[in-house]
Amino acid sequence: MRLKRGERVAIITKVLSDRPCKSFPLSWFQEMLGAAKSTLSEDLAVIKRAFEQFALGRIDSQQGVGGGVAYRPLRSPSYIREVLQDLCVLLQTPDRILPGGFLYMTDILFSPWWTSRLGEIFAAMFVDREPGFVVTMETKGIPVALMTAKYLDVPLVLLRRDHAVTEGSVVSINYVSGSSGRIQTMSLPKRALPRGARVLLIDDFMKAGGTCRGMLDIMAEFEAEVAGVGILVETKDPEKKLIVDYVSLIQLESISEHARTVSIHLSPRLVMLKNLTD
């Protein structure tokens, strides 16, 4: 059956957006759609112009025998700021303040709508660093890290506080929590990550940075190359963290149980990323 251009464009867009960062040979689309390479090149040009016009990401094409086409989730700085500003507004509602001065975020961290957008943002920040794995600590950071891995088209690796016999032999380290000062443990199965892997670390919340410091230490045990560290929310205090090189999306300045107010805003560390500059 001969397809019209609009039908081909819709199918190609769906395939590429379902597997961000994966390169599809043009011959793959030839066989799938029964169209000539010249026709498909024109279809891709239409998609590329539309994505550029509406800042939906980038369509990359590579020429030659081993070439292909891929969608890269490079959303515009204005889109990223809009999403994060909406999140700040949501987090500032007084009913999110919990006893002890904590902030309720579980509904956001387990919302497919929010985690998909946050994962896309992290992917946009780090896609050019070409990580081969996304690594996170259990448990609340898993959904955001999983969505980040999806948009980068790489596996997710999970660090655990305990290990199960079904995971085989593991590497375990002790680390000191920067907020409580307590000694804790994190473990990673030896089969979960190859030696020398290039990894992106993602965490949902950071106060002093003890957990992230532990993540960096256990990555060193695997001789992994850390391509970057992404944090969803960091607290303003303590100002001096246990890690230095990281990017956070949002900064929590203060919570007042008495006044029922939350001061939270875009992280100053967003300006560290060149591809987020208009």
What CATH number should be reported for the domain holding residue 53?
Answer: 1.10.10.10
Contacts of 41 (CB under 8 A, 6+ apart): 26
Confidence (pLDDT) at 36: 93
30 and 90 fall within a common domain: no
Number of domains in the chain: 2
Which CATH number is 125's domain given?
3.40.50.2020
Select from 53, 79, 61 the least CA-distant residue to 12. Answer: 61
CA-only gyration radius of the chain, Å: 21
Select from 55, 58, 67, 57 the least CA-distant residue to 29. Answer: 67
Residue numbers of the domain that contains 57: 5-72
254 and 214 fall within a common domain: yes
Torsion sign across C-alpha atoms 80, 86, 89, 90: negative
Answer yes or no: are the C-beta atoms of 114 and 91 closer than 8 Å.
no
pLDDT digits 0-9 by tens, 224-265: 999 999 999 999 999 999 999 999 999 999 999 999 999 999
Domain boundary among 72, 100, 120: 72
114 and 41 fall within a common domain: no
Helix (H) or strand (E) holding 30: helix 26-33
Q: What is the pTM of this model?
A: 0.91
Distance (Å, whole) CA 36 – CA 27: 9
Tokens describing residue 49: 């112009």
pLDDT string in tens for the chain (278-residue length): 789 999 999 999 999 999 999 999 999 999 999 999 999 999 999 999 999 999 999 999 887 665 689 999 998 888 999 999 999 999 999 999 999 989 999 999 999 999 999 999 999 999 999 999 999 999 899 999 999 999 999 999 999 988 777 788 999 999 987 666 789 999 999 999 999 999 999 999 999 999 999 999 999 999 999 999 999 999 999 999 999 999 999 999 999 999 999 999 999 988 655 545 44
Contacts of 76 (CB under 8 A, 6+ apart): 55, 278
